[in-house]
Chains A and B, each alone.
Chain A
Amino acid sequence: DGGITQSPKYLFRKEGQNVTLSCEQNLNHDAMYWYRQDPGQGLRLIYYSQIVNDFQKGDIAEGYSVSREKKESFPLTVTSAQKNPTAFYLCASSTDWSTDTQYFGPGTRLTVL
C-alpha cells in the first residue's frame, strides 16, 4: 500500500518546546516538501528536499528545521523560535523536483498551548 504517512495526526506543544513532525513515503520519490496551511491562505512552502542529504529553505523557513538522511523520510522540527506555530502541516512528495504532481500526506495539526 503505497503513499505518504504523517504522524502524529494531532500534536500539542507548550511554548518554548521543540517538536518533530514525521513524514514517511514509500513511493520511491526523490523530492519531498513541507507546507504550512493556515485558514484562508494558500499552502506556503517551509522546506524542500530534492534528494537525500540535501534540503533547501522555502518561503517561510524561519523557526523550522529539517533533515533528509533517508530517501523515504523527511522530518520537520518546529523550534521555539517559531513564534506562531499553530497550523496544519502538510508533507508532500514528487518523483523529482522539476516534474509534475506533488502528492500529499494526511497532515498534522499542531496546537501551541
Chain B
Amino acid sequence: GESVGLHLPTLSVQEGDNSIINCAYSNSASDYFIWYKQESGKGPQFIIDIRSNMDKRQGQRVTVLLNKTVKHLSLQIAATQPGDSAVYFCAARHNFNKFYFGSGTKLNVKP
C-alpha cells in the first residue's frame, strides 16, 4: 500500500515571504503526485502535479520538488499572499490507479 503524510499541521508565514510545505510518501512505486489547495468549507483545487521521471516542476508562483531517494516532495509558494491561506495536501498515485492523500498543512499568512 501507500501512506502519505505532511510534516507540519500548521505553517505561519509573513505576507511576501516564501512558503515551503512538505510531504512524505512511503511507496517507492508511486509514480505521480499532485498538490491540492483547499479553502475552508470548499472542495480541493488542483495546484500543480509532477511525475516520477521529473525532479522539479514550476507553475505560476509555485514550484514542486520531488526527491525520490528519500520519498519526499515539497511545494514552494513564492511571495505568499493572504489569498494563499488554506489547507494544502499532497496526493500520491500508486500502481497507476489509486491515489493516497495526506492530511494537509494549514497555511496561515500574516499581513
Interface residues of A (CB under 8 A from B): 4, 6, 35, 40-43, 45, 90, 97-98, 100-107, 109
Contact = CB atoms under 8 A, between A and B. Distances in A.
B103 A41 contact: yes
B42 A97 contact: no
Given A42-B103, A101-B34, A102-B34, 20 more contacts: A4-B43, A6-B43, A40-B9, A40-B103, A41-B103, A42-B4, A42-B89, A42-B100, A42-B101, A42-B104, A43-B101, A98-B96, A98-B97, A100-B49, A101-B46, A102-B91, A103-B46, A106-B42, A107-B42, A109-B41
A100 B49 CA distance: 9
Contacts of A97: 97
Given A42-B4, A42-B103, A100-B32, A90 B46 contact: no
Nearest to B36: A104
Nearest to A106: B43
Interface of B: 4, 9, 32, 34, 36, 41-46, 49, 89, 91, 96-104
A90 B101 contact: no
B92 to A, nearest CB: 10
